[in-house]
Each structure stands twice: as C-alpha cells, then as structure tokens.
C-alpha cells in the first residue's frame, strides 16, 4: 500500500529546526512513520519532539486533524491522504 501524503504542522518554537517551515509534507501510513521521516529529514526537529528513547516528549500533544492520538490509536494511528498531523507544545503560565 502506498503511504498517504499528509501535512505536518510545525510549532512556531521549532520552525528553526526545519528551515523556518510552518508545514511539512510527509508520506506515511501512521504517526509513527511521520516521526521516522521527520527524524530522517530534520533530526533537530525530531529531538525537539521526541526524547532520547524516541518517545514523544510528555509536554507535546499529538493530534491527527482534530483528534488527540490517544483517542484514535496512539502513534500507530492510521493516516489518510490530506490528514493534518499537529505537534502542539503545552503552554503554561501563571
């Protein structure tokens, strides 16, 4: 099966890791494959999203379109052509 081409939203604080791009086009069957492709093409972006074990950092929310991946299969969630994968850092303050 041919992987779907999906859009990946790059959070503003991490855009310098991929030449300033706000969005990347990636061919992948799952969010896990998106992360693998990001690691291959933009290693510094991958380090901003994932820890040393390769797991998504705790403060990063991962969404496919409007659904958090925890509600649609985790990082092995299947992707369809045109899906939008969002990596959103948590925001806190006081």
Q: What is the pLDDT of residues 6-51, one digit of tens each?
A: 999 999 999 999 999 999 999 999 999 999 999 999 999 999 999 9
* Lookup: tokens for 85: 């994968």
CATH number of the CATH domain containing 37: 3.10.20.30
Domain presence at residue 47: yes
pLDDT surpassing 80 at residue 78: yes
| Dihedral of alpha carbons 11, 33, 35, 51, sign | positive
**Cα gap 23→73, rounded to integer Å:** 23
* β-pair partners for 8: 24, 85
Domains contained in the chain, number: 1
Q: In the structure, what pLDDT confidence band is assigned to residue 72 with cuts at 50, 70 and 90?
A: confident
Report yes or no: 85 and 34 within 8 Å, Cβ to Cβ: yes
Domain presence at residue 94: no
């Amino acid at each position: 099966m041919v992987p779907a081409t999906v859009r990946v939203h790059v959070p503003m604080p991490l855009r310098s890791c991929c030449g300033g791009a706000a969005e990347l086009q990636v061919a992948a069957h799952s969010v896990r494959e998106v992360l693998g492709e990001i690691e291959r093409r933009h290693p510094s972006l991958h380090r901003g999203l994932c820890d040393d074990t390769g797991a998504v950092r705790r403060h990063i929310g991962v969404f496919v379109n409007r659904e958090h991946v925890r509600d649609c299969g985790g990082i092995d969630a299947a992707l369809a052509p045109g899906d939008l994968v969002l990596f959103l850092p948590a925001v806190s303050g006081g």
